Amino acid sequence: MLLHIGLDAEEHFTTAYDLAILTNYALKNETFSNIVKNKTATITMDGYSRDINNTHELLGYTEGVYGVKTGFTCNAGRCLVTACKRNNLDVIIVVLGADTKKIRTQDSLNLINYIYNNFEMIDTSEFLYSKFNIKNIKIQKSFKKASIYIENKKNYVYPISKNTKQFEVKIYFLNNQKAPLEKNSKVGVIKLFVNGNFLYENNILTKNKIEAISYKEYLYYTIKQINNFFTNSYIKIL
């Protein structure tokens, strides 16, 4: 049985991405997040008080850093997981395999500086809604059109490059939309691209319920359309 305790083992490995996901989850725990953000703490052992220091080199010295963890084994090298938040941009930096503490610290600092120098949090909702100018769509087997809207998302704010902000919206409707349709039925999706890269998509829903027409109504409608065609047509004799 292999115990995953962070020490070197033949089949025991992880990746920087794994650690970033794990850290993101762990920081949602209030007790954990409160512990890792402290530079110093006082503990009591066997009736004696002792001061202990957080070994994270950037904590308390770099703006926005609030944890998280140092690490070392012979195979993994010097490792550092850093959480940092500035101007509503919250990031997790993972550096593995450094030869020295100085290298892992500098690599982490370089990544932090790169992110905050080149990215910012952008609210994309204004652009998304400005490009959605379709009010309603036709629905098969119904005389009524469906009023449509974009489903509200909790978050439209994403980290976007400061240098390039080329947004593009693409709208896709589902094929063969037929009545009856309930209110808030999905009829399509709207997708947002940034610099040619897909960012997210959102559902397009119906505002109103669409009833299906009966066979009798459909027959009457068809006859009326045929009658209108001949009424509005004429034959020109040369």
For residue 222, is it left (φ>0), alpha (ψ between -120 and 50) or beta?
A: alpha
pLDDT at residue 220, rounded to an integer: 67
DSSP 22: H
Is residue 109 predicted with pLDDT exceeding 90? yes
Q: How far is residue 211 CA from its own chain's centroid? A: 36
pLDDT confidence of residue 233: 55
Q: How confident is residue 238, by pLDDT bands cut at 50, 70 and 90?
A: very low
Of the given ranges (52-61, 70-79, 94-103, 160-169), which has the lowest mean pLDDT?
160-169
What percent of the chain is predicted at pLDDT more than 90?
66
Q: What is the pLDDT of residue 226?
A: 73
pLDDT digits (tens, 9 = 90+) for 206-217: 999 988 876 666
CA angle 18, 20, 24 (to 5 degrees): 120
Q: What is the reported pLDDT for 177?
A: 85
DSSP output for 36-73 = HT-SEEEEEETTEEEEEE---SSTTTSTTEEEEEEEEE
Domain ranges in the chain are: 16-120, 125-231
pLDDT tens digits, residue range 124-137? 998 999 999 999 99
What pLDDT score was predicted for residue 212?
Answer: 83
> In the structure encoding, which two tokens stand for residue 74, read together?
């012979």
Cβ atoms of 185 and 206 within 8 Å: the answer is yes
Q: What is the third-level CATH fold of 16-120?
A: Beta-lactamase (3.40.710)
pLDDT for the residue numbered 14 = 87
For the chain, give the longest Cα–Cα distance: 116
Nearest to 69 by CA among 49, 94, 86: 94
- Mean predicted lDDT score pLDDT of the chain: 88
Q: Which CATH superfamily is domain 125-231 in?
A: D-Ala-D-Ala carboxypeptidase, C-terminal domain (2.60.410.10)
pLDDT tens sequence across 5-22: 667 888 778 899 999 999
Is the pLDDT confidence value at 162 over 70?
A: yes
Cβ–Cβ under 8 Å, residues 142 and 211: yes
Q: Does residue 75 register a pLDDT over 80?
A: yes
SS3 53: strand
Structure tokens at 173: 């409707």
pLDDT tens digit string along 164-202?
778 999 999 998 888 888 999 999 999 999 989 999 999
Does pLDDT of 1 surpass 60?
Answer: no
Gap between the Cα atoms of 231 and 233, Å rounded: 6
